[in-house]
């Protein structure tokens, strides 16, 4: 099977979160990928929101999707070298669970250096709809 790929650059702004989620959902449908769309939307939301919340500024974030042999890999690259942290849950904090969600749902995830910044990625194995 050949690989299907897509990449879009977005501003690190709140409006990019629903735009990235919509793009991921529509590509999964077009590619007929078997992964759970709700899981993908949640994970994309978490990665893009992290950039918006923690990087912001003038940099651009890139949403990258690849579908190959049933596997789905999605990454968000930004211009900050600061790596995300899987924090400890604190009952009185309403936020800070994003990377825990990614770690719990994705089959694998990680961070790699990318053009002076980083790329946070996750993969989902083929699954049933």
3-state secondary structure of 104: helix
The DSSP 8-state label assigned to residue 101 in this structure reads H
pTM: 0.89
Check residue 83 and give its pLDDT. 81
Domain count, the chain: 1
Select from 44, 39, 45 the least CA-distant residue to 105.
39
Q: Which residue range(s) make up the domain with 39?
A: 4-124
pLDDT (tens digit per residue) in 87-101: 665 566 555 577 888
Asked if residue 113 belongs to a domain, the reply is yes
Taking the CB of residue 49, how many other CB atoms lie within 10 A of it? 18
Residue 120 lies in a domain: yes
- Residue-wise pLDDT for 32-84, tens only, equals 999 999 999 999 999 999 889 878 677 789 999 999 999 999 999 998 888 87
Task: Find the radius of gyration of the CA atoms of the chain.
Answer: 14
Residue 118 confidence (pLDDT) above 50 = yes
Give me the half-sphere count of Cα atoms (radius 13 Å) on the Cβ side of residue 96. Answer: 9
- Does the residue 129 lie in any domain? no
Could you tell me if 96 and 90 are in contact, meaning their C-beta atoms sit under 8 angstroms apart?
Answer: yes
Closest by Cα among 72, 78, 81, 43 to 57: 78
Taking only the tens place, the pLDDT of each residue in 19-33 is 999 999 999 999 999
Any idea which residue has 């939301």 for tokens? 45
CATH number at residue 12: 3.30.565.10
112 falls within a domain: yes
Residue 106 lies in a domain: yes
């Amino acid at each position: 099977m050949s690989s299907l790929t897509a990449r879009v650059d977005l501003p690190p702004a709140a409006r990019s979160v629903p735009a990235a989620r919509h793009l991921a959902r529509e590509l999964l449908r077009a590619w007929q990928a078997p992964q759970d769309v709700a899981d993908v939307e949640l994970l994309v939301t978490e990665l893009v929101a992290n950039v918006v919340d923690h990087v912001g500024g003038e940099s651009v974030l890139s949403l990258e999707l690849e579908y190959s042999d049933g596997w789905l890999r999605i990454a968000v690259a930004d211009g900050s070298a600061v790596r995300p942290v899987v924090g400890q849950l604190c009952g009185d904090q309403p936020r800070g669970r994003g990377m825990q969600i990614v770690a719990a749902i994705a089959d694998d995830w990680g961070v790699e250096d990318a053009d002076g910044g980083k790329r946070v990625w996750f993969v989902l194995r083929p699954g049933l709809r």
